């Protein structure tokens, strides 16, 4: 029997509809069950809507998990979890019960139509960079060659991002 390769994945989870805190907890449990063990989790942040097509504050959290899933298997798994939690894709950056984005997968760079890693909007979003920097300040972006802390320092986004609760894990 061969060795199971463990990969480190960094995800951001969040939504603005329903019981936001309960959905964060449910999503985390489903990810641990289907993706792999949780290594780190940021505080949960309440953030202003980003992108212009949604209303109401979001709760967001960054999770680091270990997985044996390939990037494409991971994408399919997180899309299934989003759908189970009531995600409806009506418009880009619209209201949602749960959105799960892959920020990093090891230090891979993937640019396919359906999958881009690292996440292409990561450098532009404080709601991603603040929780990411909380738990992985010195991780280096594989193409920008800057740490998460350095990317946050250069970010032009001025949206509000406030701690909602410390990580329950």
Tell me the mean pLDDT in the region 26-33. 97
Least confident interval from 32-36, 64-68, 88-92, 95-99? 88-92
- Give the separation between CA 110 and CA 116, rounded to whole angstroms: 5
Q: What is the pLDDT of residue 81?
A: 96
What ranges do the domains of the chain cover?
7-165
- Alpha helices (runs of H) in 2-111, residue ranges in sequence order: 20-34, 71-84
Q: Average pLDDT for residues 59-80, to the nearest whole number? A: 97
Q: Are 11 and 131 in contact (CB under 8 A)?
A: no
pLDDT value of residue 51:
61
pTM for the model: 0.92
| Residue closest to 65 by CA, chosen among 135, 154, 148 | 135
pLDDT at 5: 66
30's CB contacts (< 8 A; 6+ apart) are 81, 84, 85
Q: What CATH code is assigned to 7-165?
A: 3.30.70.560
Band of the pLDDT at 122, cuts 50, 70, 90?
A: very high
């Amino acid at each position: 029997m061969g060795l199971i390769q463990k990969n480190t994945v960094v995800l951001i989870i969040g939504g603005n509809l329903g019981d936001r805190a309960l959905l964060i907890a449910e999503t985390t449990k489903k990810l641990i069950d289907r993706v792999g063990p949780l290594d780190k989790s940021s505080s949960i942040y309440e953030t202003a809507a980003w992108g212009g097509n949604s209303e109401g504050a979001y709760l967001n959290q960054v999770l680091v998990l270990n997985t044996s899933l390939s990037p494409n298997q991971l994408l399919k798994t997180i899309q299934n979890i989003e759908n189970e939690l009531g995600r409806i894709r009506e418009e880009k950056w619209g209201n949602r019960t749960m959105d799960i984005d892959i920020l990093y997968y090891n230090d891979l760079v993937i640019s396919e139509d359906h999958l881009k890693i690292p996440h292409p909007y990561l450098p532009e979003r404080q709601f991603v960079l603040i929780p990411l920097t909380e738990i992985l300040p010195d991780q280096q972006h594989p193409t920008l060659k800057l740490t998460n802390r350095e990317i946050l320092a250069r970010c032009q986004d001025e949206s509000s991002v406030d701690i909602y609760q410390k990580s329950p894990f």
